[in-house]
Amino acid sequence: MQSLLDPTGEIEPVIRSPIAKPDTLEGKTLGLLDISKAKGDIFLDRLEELFSDRGVKVRRYKKPTFAKPAPLKLIQEITKEVDIVVEGLAD
Protein backbone atom coordinates (compact mmCIF):
# COMPACT_ATOMS: atom_id res chain seq x y z
CA MET A 1 0.00 0.00 0.00
CA GLN A 2 1.34 3.47 -0.95
CA SER A 3 0.99 6.44 1.31
CA LEU A 4 1.22 10.04 0.04
CA LEU A 5 1.95 12.96 2.28
CA ASP A 6 0.90 16.51 1.51
CA PRO A 7 3.83 18.83 2.41
CA THR A 8 1.70 21.97 2.53
CA GLY A 9 0.53 23.39 5.81
CA GLU A 10 -3.07 23.38 6.92
CA ILE A 11 -2.90 26.80 8.56
CA GLU A 12 -5.84 29.11 7.94
CA PRO A 13 -4.73 32.53 6.65
CA VAL A 14 -5.18 35.50 8.95
CA ILE A 15 -7.70 37.89 7.45
CA ARG A 16 -6.93 41.53 8.12
CA SER A 17 -8.75 44.66 7.05
CA PRO A 18 -6.59 47.20 5.23
CA ILE A 19 -5.62 50.23 7.27
CA ALA A 20 -6.65 53.69 6.14
CA LYS A 21 -4.18 55.46 3.86
CA PRO A 22 -2.83 58.75 5.17
CA ASP A 23 -4.12 61.91 3.51
CA THR A 24 -0.58 63.28 3.34
CA LEU A 25 3.01 62.18 3.88
CA GLU A 26 3.79 65.43 5.68
CA GLY A 27 5.36 64.64 9.03
CA LYS A 28 5.41 60.91 8.26
CA THR A 29 8.41 58.60 7.99
CA LEU A 30 8.45 56.26 5.00
CA GLY A 31 10.19 52.90 5.30
CA LEU A 32 11.61 51.21 2.20
CA LEU A 33 12.07 47.46 2.65
CA ASP A 34 14.42 45.65 0.28
CA ILE A 35 13.60 41.93 0.34
CA SER A 36 17.03 41.10 -1.18
CA LYS A 37 15.84 40.17 -4.66
CA ALA A 38 17.95 41.22 -7.63
CA LYS A 39 17.55 44.86 -8.68
CA GLY A 40 15.09 45.68 -5.90
CA ASP A 41 17.64 48.14 -4.54
CA ILE A 42 17.61 50.06 -7.84
CA PHE A 43 13.85 50.58 -7.59
CA LEU A 44 14.05 51.58 -3.93
CA ASP A 45 17.00 53.94 -4.56
CA ARG A 46 14.82 55.82 -7.05
CA LEU A 47 11.86 55.93 -4.67
CA GLU A 48 14.11 57.25 -1.91
CA GLU A 49 15.35 59.99 -4.23
CA LEU A 50 11.83 60.99 -5.32
CA PHE A 51 10.37 61.05 -1.80
CA SER A 52 13.42 62.78 -0.27
CA ASP A 53 13.22 65.49 -2.94
CA ARG A 54 9.68 66.16 -1.70
CA GLY A 55 10.79 66.46 1.92
CA VAL A 56 9.62 63.04 3.11
CA LYS A 57 11.82 61.39 5.73
CA VAL A 58 12.93 57.97 4.44
CA ARG A 59 14.46 55.02 6.29
CA ARG A 60 15.88 51.94 4.54
CA TYR A 61 15.67 48.32 5.64
CA LYS A 62 16.82 45.04 4.10
CA LYS A 63 15.81 41.45 4.74
CA PRO A 64 18.73 38.99 4.97
CA THR A 65 17.14 36.79 2.28
CA PHE A 66 14.04 36.80 0.11
CA ALA A 67 13.53 33.08 0.76
CA LYS A 68 12.28 33.54 4.33
CA PRO A 69 9.96 35.93 6.14
CA ALA A 70 11.55 39.00 7.67
CA PRO A 71 13.08 38.31 11.09
CA LEU A 72 10.90 39.40 14.02
CA LYS A 73 13.57 41.87 15.17
CA LEU A 74 13.47 43.62 11.76
CA ILE A 75 9.66 43.75 11.77
CA GLN A 76 9.69 45.27 15.27
CA GLU A 77 12.30 47.84 14.22
CA ILE A 78 10.27 48.88 11.18
CA THR A 79 7.04 49.04 13.19
CA LYS A 80 8.66 51.30 15.78
CA GLU A 81 10.46 53.65 13.37
CA VAL A 82 8.15 54.33 10.40
CA ASP A 83 4.54 55.19 9.59
CA ILE A 84 4.32 53.69 6.09
CA VAL A 85 6.25 50.87 4.38
CA VAL A 86 6.94 50.20 0.71
CA GLU A 87 8.30 46.72 0.04
CA GLY A 88 10.41 46.37 -3.11
CA LEU A 89 9.75 43.17 -5.05
CA ALA A 90 11.92 42.78 -8.15
CA ASP A 91 13.95 40.42 -10.29
Q: How many CB atoms lie within 10 A of CB 44?
A: 22
Residue 71 covered by a domain: yes
Q: What pLDDT was estimated at residue 64?
A: 95
pLDDT per residue over 1-40, tens digit each?
677 777 777 778 788 898 888 999 999 999 999 999 998 9
In our burial notation (b when 16+ CB lie closer than 10 A, e otherwise), range 60-78 reads ebbbeeeeeebeeeeeeeb
Residue 4 covered by a domain: no
Domain that includes residue 33, residue range:
29-88
Taking the whole predicted model, whether its pTM rises above 0.85 is answered as: no
Residue 37 covered by a domain: yes
pLDDT per residue over 52-89, tens digit each?
999 999 999 999 999 999 999 999 999 999 999 999 88
